[in-house]
Each structure stands twice: as structure tokens, then as C-alpha cells.
Amino acid sequence: MSLTLTVDGPRWRAHLESVADAHPGIVPVAKGNGYGFTLGRLARKAQWLRDRGHDVTTLAVGTYDEIPEVASRWHGDILVLTPWRPFVDPLEPALTKRVVHTVSRLSDLEQLLTLEPSARVVLERTTSMQRHGMSARELWEAGELLRSLPDGRAEGVALHLPLAQGNHLGEVSRLLNDYVAAAVPRRGPDTVWVSHLTDRELTTLREQYGDFVVRPRIGTQLWLGDRGALRVTATVLDVHPVERGDIFGYRARTAPKSGHLLVVSGGTAHGIGLEAPTGESSIKARAATLARGGLDAVGFVRSPYSIDGKQRLFAEPPHMQASMLFLPSGADVPAVGDPIDVRVRFTATTFDRVVIT
């Protein structure tokens, strides 16, 4: 009676190892809802990769609030991707040596090192994403500040690049040159912590900057890269035959034709029916969005549930923990208790159960 993620364990684990092998210095990313798996489970799996001898020394989380859920399951360093701000609560003493702070503002760097002189920091350089980061001038000033402090050291530079494909290497080269010119005092080798480079770009980067350690931060490709190992199912909770004109649901809608109403597990509490923008800007994509809006007005929206090989329509907007589907006459009708497939966006879905075989 649940929304379930079933994982083909051997296949998924083989995929994790293949990605780790292909990306030396990989920094697994465990943030948000844990890509559907939960943060704790991803932390344990990162530790599993490390225990098996893969080059995994650091786990990345999205926010400081996520640290407690991974810290007891992962025994290495923890990189926080969201930049440190003065209003962040102090870390537990036991974690200060394990946590690496991302710092994107000169004033924050100064305040953090005043509070914690030996804090481990990565300096973020702003990219064409224009989200967080220092300018070339600020990076130079950060280097000056670190040189003035007895324990002032950085553990490299962080670059968060856009997902859109383009001349990433040209941008990375320019930004790394800014970092080199800043002569930032470092703890260990020069390191670039980078997101959203292709495998070919990572190889070229290592060839061009042989003195740098390249640390690719990878989430989706690692955890969700083999979709064939993952299956999401819901449970059929009830089946009701209806005739055209029959009234049903919270909003007293009427059946458009004869068929069946199905009540299935999964609702807004799981993320079902809550669609995040896709970022598509084409005319076709916009037209599809408008079409969905029109369908929503009369209650005929395609759901993520598949029955008899077809995505079925919501009979009405999803409830909190269940959804109602309309199945027209002629379709195979599942029985109560049967599983049906669901297509979800893993980063926006909370599962009742995760079963790894």
C-alpha cells in the first residue's frame, strides 16, 4: 500500500563502482531528498565505495542542516556546497575537522576565520551561473587575507558551472588562471572542485592543469545514471466501475464516459502531481505547458501512472497520499493490491519504501 522504489542491487552497485572508477577523486553529492534514496542511505553507499578501495575521500551535502544525517554513516570529509554565511549555527566540535566550508564572499571568509581560525575552506569563484562566488579581484583579496593569518589556508577553488553544454573548458581555464594569479595559500595540493563537466572535459582539464587535483562533484550521474536498475511502483488501493455522468471525488466531478476509477498510492506528500519547471524554452515545450494548463482546467491531466502500457489520466488532482485515475472501458483493469508503474522525478519524490534487492 505504498509508493515504492525497488532497486536492482547488483546492477546499481556495479554502476556506482563504474562511475567511481571513471572519475578519480569523485565527490559523491548527497543533498535534498537524497535523490529519492534518502541522505542516510547515500552516505552509507559512499562509505561502501570508500571501503572497497575507490578514490572517495569527501562527500558533498547541500546544506549545513544535512550534515547530521550523513556524519554518522560516512566517516570521511564533508563538503558543504551552500556557501557559509554568518548566521550558520556553529558545528559540533567533533565535526569541525571533517567539514569543508564553501566560502563565496570575502567578508564571510574573514568572519569565519575569526570564529574558527583553523576552519577548512574552499573558495568559490563565480561562474556564468551567476549564483555564488567571488570575482577575480575578491579572490586576490582572499589570498591576501589568508596570507596574513597564521593558519590561513584554502583547500582549493570551487566552480559550479551551468548544465547547458558550451565552452566550459574555456571558462574553466580563465577562472583557474584567476585562482593561480591570486596565489592563495593552500592546504595540500591545488585542487579544483567542479560540477557539470563532461567526462571528456574532465580528462582535458587534467591534461591541461597537471598540477591540480580535479575533484568532480557528481550526484545525478552517480545515483540515477542507470535508470534500468530502478523501478517505481504504486499499489492499487481500490477499483470502482463508473458510468458516464456518475459523480465522484472531492469536487463532485462527473465521469466523462464509462470505465473505472482507480485509487492508487502516491499523492502530493510524495511529490506526485507537483511538477517543477523543466527549464525548456522551446516553442514546443511552451505549447505543451499551455496544453497541460488547459487540460487541468477540466480535470484531464496525464498522470505519471502507467496501466496496460499507457500513461493514464488523473480523475482529479492528487490527494495527499493517494491519487484517483480514470481508466476508460476496454483497458485491462488491475486488481486491488496490484503494483503499477510510476514515472517520477527522483529529486522531487519521497518514497514510502526503498527496497534494494
Residues 196, 202: Cα–Cα separation, whole Å: 10
Helix (H) or strand (E) holding 51: helix 39-51
> By C-alpha distance, which of 292, 299, 295 is closest to 247?
299
pTM of the model: 0.91
Which set of grid coordinates corresponds to residue 210? 597537471
Cβ–Cβ < 8 Å for 35, 346: yes
pLDDT at 216: 98
Q: Cβ atoms within 10 A of the Cβ of 61, count? A: 27
d(CA 318, CA 303): 9
What per-residue confidence (pLDDT) applies to 164? 73
The per-residue pLDDT for 279 is 52
Helices (H) and strands (E) in the chain — how many of each?
A: 9, 18
Ranges of residues in the chain whose predicted pLDDT is under 50? 286-298
Distance from C-alpha of 236 to C-alpha of 82, rounded to nearest angstrom: 40
Residue 334 is classified by DSSP as: P
- Domains defined along the chain, listed by start: 6-223 (3.20.20.10), 231-356 (2.40.37.10)
